[in-house]
Structure 1
Amino acid sequence: MSHKIRTRVTAVAALAALTLAGCSSDPEPTGDAGTSATSAATASTAASGDATDTDRTKIPRLRAYLHSTMAFGAPMINFDKDGELEEYADEVDVDYWDSVDQLRAAMMQGDAQVAATPAYTAANLYNKGVDVRLIGQVVWGMLYVLGPDTAEEGDWDGLKGQKVAVVMPGEMVDLVFSYLLAENGLDKETDITYVPVNDPRQAVGMLAKGEVDWAVLPEHLATVALKKTAESGKNLKRVFNLQEEYGRATGGPARFPMAGLIMPGELVDAHPELPAAVLEEVADTTAKVNDGDDATIRAIAEQYDMPEPLVRDIIPRLNLEVVPASESRKQYEEFLEVLATVNPDVYGGTLPDDSFYAE
């Protein structure tokens, strides 16, 4: 069993990936969306004759295709490192996607057997004919509004007239922030000076230079920004925890299913036991992450070239919990409908049907 993790971005730059993948960047699918890893797996398995003692048919490779961000790097840091999935696949590896084009192509061409996606991207792909199944949620919100340390926490009126940098305009961070602004009686176009910022690193620089006093950021970038601005003599804090604000606005839990895992539908049909096995593997590592297991924290720190104490500080704010799709469907659909109040087309216009959710 091989385990390959390739890091292609720095710790700060990596955070941009999680906020990608809105419907604006989703391409129209071409070709047969049913293409997946299963046909190749079947042929290879027939040739190799690999099987477990229970005659389970193994697939040649199980590739996890992730965002290059700590929110998904952390729960997948030990993906099958202990060989827990070796009865399902001959080889396990991890790679990273940078755009929805890459993600869609990987899912359609069988290059990825499990992939991490923002919530609405999974539904958008499905609604555009890509044969994917949602197997579970992992990230439950990690968005914060940084502002002056003198600001009153939770006071939305305090944003009036302020210049606010919002990373990845039109995507997850922007959608959640825009919804909460409106729910708290503010108009993004008239009540604040909205500063769209495509590169999260630029937002950190703008805060440090005093070009803006406020910014809407995901973790772990929010922690990095606080550290950088403090070094430049500017004292900021988390004025808004958007998970808590979401709970107040909706009357529900102070969290939302921000990102989850999908698999090719044909693969799920051919290997119905595989989604549960993958979720169990991710859940085991997530528990170690949340419990602060020394070896796991050390691995994350090495992966993202960050000090271990800083990683430990960030972990609780990543809000990691593995919840199967069948159990999280209600919250997932409610979240999609909330996002649709900002952009009606964000998930493709129709809630996915039953077949989208893996059992």
Structure 2
Amino acid sequence: MRKITLACAAALFCVLVALGGCSTHSQEPNNEPEEQQVSSQQPMDVRAAALKGPTAMGLVKFMDEAEAGTVSDNDYSFQIAASPDELTPQIAQGSLDIACVPANLASVLYNNTDGAVRVLAVNTLGVLYICDSNGSIQSVADLAGKTIYASGKGSTPEYALNYILEGNGLTPGRDVTIEWKSEHAECVAAMTKDSQAIALLPQPFVTTAQMKDDSIRTALDLTEEWNALQSDADASSLITGVVVARADFVDEHPEAVEAFMKHYRESVAFVNEDIEAAAELIDTYDIVPAAVAQKAIPACNIVCMEGDEMKNALSGYLEVLFEQNPKSVGGTLPGDDFYYAS
């Protein structure tokens, strides 16, 4: 009996040693590089879109890498739209995950969907310029008594122009006449007919117009004029476009959101640092011709502004629009959950 007991004890000891060895092995840390661990996760579909123009320019390197297969952490698809109206229903209905849209439209979407949209980043600062053909405009004060041809009534161009005029002591409609046109091309046509004409134009349309008529010059940069009105305690920025995502997508797939933003940052840096190569890609994706893009990129203020910097700049900008017309931001200012914080 004792021999049987000893034999059983010896066998049990061997089993415990074997189990202990397995347990020690299973607890060894995973020394696999973090990037390799992330890439081993199952890729998911990420559907993105942008508007034709500056809001899409910063994406081109990312788009090119996704199409070439050199970005493979997720399956990215992109579309370029000509109008915000093409993207709005897709975001609201969930057929798009991420989109580059006008800043005030992001706020409108937030309000119209009960907070189902979040802003990931500001991607384009101001792209508006006062242009003339005779060099008569050197400051905002020089606009007194003048007529400005502009397009975009009821949207950012009107609100930004009014803010800057009023901030410099000029009342729109009294001190400065603004003649609203339906298209930017009509503003350029007015300048072509009258050498004294002044127009408010966005990039890259400014560059397109200058390539057709070299007498057209940028007299005032509205982004700089906006910044000149800011105080350190309550600074805001003139903002054209932002990157938004569905709130459900952000909450359910935070890793995919972070991966997207990493590629986006790198793409924006590429566009600003290698303008010639970026211009070729912008042409490839039929955003604007390469020759226009190469001259326009430095004036398009393409950025990737995130976190607190994004929140401070964007919230201040939306407050300015809200004060002029609450409908421009969807009736009320967005809550803190509108601003994404990784």
The alignment partner of 1:190 has SS state of coil
Does residue 1:149 correspond to 2:131, yes or no? no
Which letter does structure 2 place at the counterpart of 1:145?
A: I
Question: Which residue identity is paired with 1:236?
Answer: I
Q: Following the alignment from structure 2 to structure 1, what is the Cα–Cα distance between the partners of residues 160 and 289? A: 30
Cα distance in 2 between the residues matched to 1:349 and 1:200:
28
Q: Provide the secondary structure at the position in 1 that maps to 2:213.
A: helix
Is the 1:207–1:229 contact (alpha carbons within 8 Å) kept by the matching residues of 2? no
Partner of 2:95: 111
- The answer to whether residue 58 in structure 2 is matched with residue 79 in structure 1 is no
SS at match of 2:83: coil
Q: Tell whether 2:266 aligns with 1:279.
A: no
Aligned to 2:167: 183
- 1:139 and 1:221 map into 2 onto residues whose CA distance is 15
Q: 2:332 aligns with which of 350, 356, 359?
A: 350
Report sequence identity in percent. Answer: 23
Q: 1:142 to 1:268 in 2, by over 3 A?
A: same
Alpha-carbon RMSD: 2.4
Distance 2:240 2:287 in 1: 25
Aligned partners of 2:275 and 2:201: how far apart in 1? Answer: 27
Deviation (angstroms), 1:275: 2.2
- Structure-2-length-normalised TM-score: 0.79
Which one-letter code corresponds to 1:336 in the other structure?
L
2: distance between equivalents of 1:294 and 1:214?
Answer: 31
Aligned partners of 1:326 and 1:278: how far apart in 2? 19
Aligned counterpart, 1:32:
none
User: What per-residue deviation string (whole Å, max 9, x for no partner) do you get for residues 140-190 of structure 1?
Assistant: 111110023331412x23222222111111111111011111111111111
Aligned AA for 2:150? V
Q: How many residues align?
A: 299
Of 161, 176, 186, the residue aligned with 1:202 is: 186
Match of 1:6? none
Q: Is the 8 A contact 2:98 2:245 kept in 1?
A: yes
Moved more, 189-198 or 172-181: 189-198
The answer for unaligned runs of 5 or more in structure 1 is: 1-51
Residues 243-282 of structure 1: matches in 2 within 5 Å? 243-251=223-231, 255-282=237-264
Larger Rg: 2
> Aligned partner of 1:263: which letter?
A
1:174 aligned to 2:154?
A: no
Q: Comparing both structures, which one devotes a greater share of its residues to helix?
A: 2
CA contact (8 A) 1:245 1:254 kept: no
Q: Which runs of 5+ in 2 are unaligned?
A: 1-35
The one-letter amino acid paired with 1:118 is P
The one-letter amino acid paired with 2:61 is N
- Per-residue CA distance 1:263-316 (angstroms, 9 max, x = gap): 111111110122222222121111111112543322223444866454222111
Q: 1:141 to 1:293 in 2, by over 3 A?
A: closer
8 A contact 2:55–2:101 mirrored in 1: no
1:238 aligned counterpart, secondary structure: strand
Q: Give the counterpart of 1:242 among 218, 222, 246.
A: 222
